[in-house]
Amino acid sequence: MAINYKKELEKAAKGMILVHRPDVLIKMIVRTIVQKARVRHAGILLHDQDKDTYILTVSRGPTGLKIPAGFCRVDKDNPLIRYLSNPSRYNQLGPFLLVRDNLKRLLRRRLLPETKKLAKDILYQMEIFGAQVCIPSFFRQELLGVLFLGDKNNKRPFKQEELDFFFALASDAAMALQNARLFQGLQLQLERNERLFLSTTKALAGAIEAKDHYTRGHTERVTQLSFILGEKLLQKKFSGMTTDFLSELRIAGLLHDIGKIGVPESILNKNGELSDEERRIIQEHPIIGARIIEPIAELSFVAKGVKYHHERYDGRGYPEGLQGDGIPLIAAIIAVADCFDAMTSDRPYRQALTRQQAIEEMLAKKGSQFHPQLVDVFVELYQEGRF
Amino acid sequence: MAINYKKELEKAAKGMILVHRPDVLIKMIVRTIVQKARVRHAGILLHDQDKDTYILTVSRGPTGLKIPAGFCRVDKDNPLIRYLSNPSRYNQLGPFLLVRDNLKRLLRRRLLPETKKLAKDILYQMEIFGAQVCIPSFFRQELLGVLFLGDKNNKRPFKQEELDFFFALASDAAMALQNARLFQGLQLQLERNERLFLSTTKALAGAIEAKDHYTRGHTERVTQLSFILGEKLLQKKFSGMTTDFLSELRIAGLLHDIGKIGVPESILNKNGELSDEERRIIQEHPIIGARIIEPIAELSFVAKGVKYHHERYDGRGYPEGLQGDGIPLIAAIIAVADCFDAMTSDRPYRQALTRQQAIEEMLAKKGSQFHPQLVDVFVELYQEGRF
């Protein structure tokens, strides 16, 4: 019998390299084997690095034949694992691939007592898994897993050529799996670091904000409002909006007021009208903020959001009096969110507006204080009940 | 002739999956082909995603035969690239693999004028590269690269079986290369994010520090001193020191004084003796600092460094009066660096000590204020001229 499935399986094995989720990869391998190689069932005992045991990770075939995945766990000193881990012992039971029918035949011969015991123990394990064949899979001398196959659908014995092929396949699979694990490790570390960056920035910006007694929670609310406004703009394919822009917008939201660290507490928390000089000092906070983060090359775009979030669409804002589309979009978005939150918060010199009143105020100032299209989208979000 | 190198090359190709540096991988592929397949030279024209051209990335063979790598760049509308990019045209010149001798034979026949021109143009390109065979390599329908091979060492023509094998190999290489590129992309992003995290933390901690007029540059110096002390301890295999510890130590150094954000400016910058109440408030800064970062799960170890960096070895420090080895090592290290920098800096109420004086002071307080072994290692670093 020609092994006509070989080409298909080889092709499938190659695609494995680019599957970077270990769990998906393993399921794919076993499913492919069952389908293409026409065996009744197949499974993989996989080494669990954390617990240093071998776990039945996936098992496929008709119900009744297969053991549920995760159900079975095998110790390192299980006879099957011990034998397969140690290629130098492979001459003890003949071929390194364990074939149940061969073991049965072997047991009919005269054997050394220890060989007999070994063969019996392994046969017992293979029967538990309903395995006709067990194939070890190594990565750099470590037994990474054991692939086991049930009987062929046509009940014929496996040929040596087929067994060799499965051994090669198992070794490919081990390599792909190792690759996927490395990939997943990097990805998890990346996610962890992104979380760490955001939460640290949030904590430090929050601590700085706490100096200003009037603005509790302001930073987080502005970040959140800017982000949903940005998301909506992205949805509407607003020119210049990208997912990268969104991540930078989030950071700019968190950092927009950090320049307040440079404003004396006595001015920041003054209970009463500010003098012109005091107002001038407060109005320096966008520049101070930008100066703090400008040395960070990766945040040059974010720095623009911080620096210009008090510019006005009509050019009457500060620090530079930029106008219309001359104001970076990232800053114009924060300006909308920032003013809305300021209007709807209590201040020592006035009560908070209701959200409805603030929305009306923003519509009134559309095109003078605010970027007109941004106000429209912001109002749309409000009407949808998004905030 | 049997292609006896096939097994070796196949084995080499499998190992490629785990090479995660694209440049190393490509060199490996070409070197392996030249050695195992016994061709005079080989090279790869590789798609450069940024510039959308094909670049001669590596070329191997005796000097004189090969073009220096990087020297040659080929546009997307080069006839060779245009032809190989478009498999639906492959019937135009016969087999999809371009073999120079076949093209020459083809040109001796009667051809449509456009076919003749195409064949001539491609032949000309192949002669530039000294290529006997050109093999396209695809990734998801995109022409990722072109592998070209010079003549075989024994000058015989390539057999179809060999060409098929090289085509399969080129496709494996394309997959491995794509994998390596994805890997490298992740790794670069990871490095970028780590840099971003450190520089942002540094910038924000620096801005907070700037509120305290007496401590310019203190944070960075303490971070640096703590880090080299930590490195030395790691070198000496000091119990509990690891490279992970070192990264956390660096972060803890940057954040050790952030709690000062919670101390009023009037106390922080007071020019004169502090009252007991004012001293009590200043002494809250380690607790405030720890509270700021405690919500960040990943920084729970760092928070210990921040919280306990004013504890003393004899238990007479604050906030909790921890003693000896009860003080987390990360905090004990920062305490040494922190005090050294404080002693060697001017304060409104006293002049700075010289570094030599400060070292003597620390030796005098070894075992009372400071962890004795840490002082010894710190003094050793001083004597080595490390600071």
Domains of chain B: 6-183 (3.30.450.40), 194-383 (1.10.3210.10)
**Amino acid letter, B225:** L
Summarize pLDDT for B213-259 with one digit per residue, the tens. 878 899 999 999 999 999 999 999 999 999 999 999 999 999 999 99
Assess whether pLDDT exceeds 50 at residue B2.
no
Interhelix angle B160-209/A6-15, rounded to 10 degrees, is 20
- The pLDDT, as a whole number, for residue A123 is 92
Whether B137 and chain A come into contact, CB under 8 Å, resolves to no
- The pLDDT, as a whole number, for residue A37 is 81
Strand partners, B54: B47, B74
Of the candidates A96, A378, A371, A340, the one whose C-alpha atom is nearest the C-alpha of residue A230 is A378
Contact A208 B292 (CB under 8 A): no
State how far the Cα of B48 lies from the Cα of A72, in Å rounded to an integer: 48
Summarize pLDDT for B273-325 with one digit per residue, the tens. 899 999 999 999 999 999 999 999 999 999 999 999 999 999 999 999 999 99
Assess whether pLDDT exceeds 80 at residue B16.
no
User: Exposure string (b/e) for A305-341, b if CB count within 10 Å is 16 or more?
Assistant: bbbbbbbbbeeebeeeebeeeebbbbbbbbbbbbbbb
Chain A, residues 174-213, CB within 8 A of chain B, namely 175-176, 178-179, 182-183, 186-187, 189-190, 192-197, 199-201, 203-208, 210-211
- The pLDDT, as a whole number, for residue A272 is 82
Which of B171, B179, B208 comes nearest A18 by C-beta? B179
Summarize pLDDT for B75-105 with one digit per residue, the tens. 888 989 988 988 887 777 776 678 998 889 8
Identify the residue with better confidence: A9 or B384: B384
Whether A7 and chain B come into contact, CB under 8 Å, resolves to no
Contact B210 A298 (CB under 8 A): no
Which of B14, B183, B296 comes nearest A172 by C-beta? B14
Residue B298 Cα, gap to closest chain A Cα (Å): 7
List of chain B residues whose C-beta atoms are within 8 Å of the C-beta of residue A264: 265
**Neighbour order of strands in the sheet with A42-48:** A73-74, A53-60, A42-48, A142-149, A133-139, A98-99
Assess whether pLDDT exceeds 70 at residue B1.
no
B17, B212, B255: which to substitute to probe chain A, counting the most A Cβ within 10 Å?
A: B17
Summarize pLDDT for B112-136 with one digit per residue, the tens. 998 899 899 999 988 888 899 999 9
Residue A5 Cα, gap to closest chain B Cα (Å): 17
Whether A295 and chain B come into contact, CB under 8 Å, resolves to yes
Question: From the CB of residue B284, how many other CB atoms can be counted at a distance below 10 Å?
Answer: 16
Residue B53 Cα, gap to closest chain A Cα (Å): 24
3-state secondary structure of B142: strand
Tokens of A353: 């507006």
- The pLDDT, as a whole number, for residue A360 is 97
Contact B14 A205 (CB under 8 A): no
Identify the residue with better confidence: B69 or B229: B229
List of chain A residues whose C-beta atoms are within 8 Å of the C-beta of residue B25: none
Whether B247 and chain A come into contact, CB under 8 Å, resolves to no
Q: Under 8 Å CB-to-CB from A97, ≥6 apart: which residues?
A: A133, A134, A135, A136, A163, A166, A167
Which of A183, A199, A293 comes nearest B183 by C-beta? A183
List of chain B residues whose C-beta atoms are within 8 Å of the C-beta of residue A177: none
Q: How many CB pairs under 8 A join A and B?
A: 120
- The pLDDT, as a whole number, for residue B30 is 84
Which of B190, B210, B296 comes nearest A199 by C-beta? B296
Summarize pLDDT for A9-29 with one digit per residue, the tens. 667 666 777 788 888 888 888
Q: In terms of DSSP H, where are the helices of B40-159?
A: 79-85, 100-107, 113-128
Contact A17 B187 (CB under 8 A): no
Summarize pLDDT for B140-158 with one digit per residue, the tens. 788 988 998 999 888 898 8
List of chain A residues whose C-beta atoms are within 8 Å of the C-beta of residue B10: none
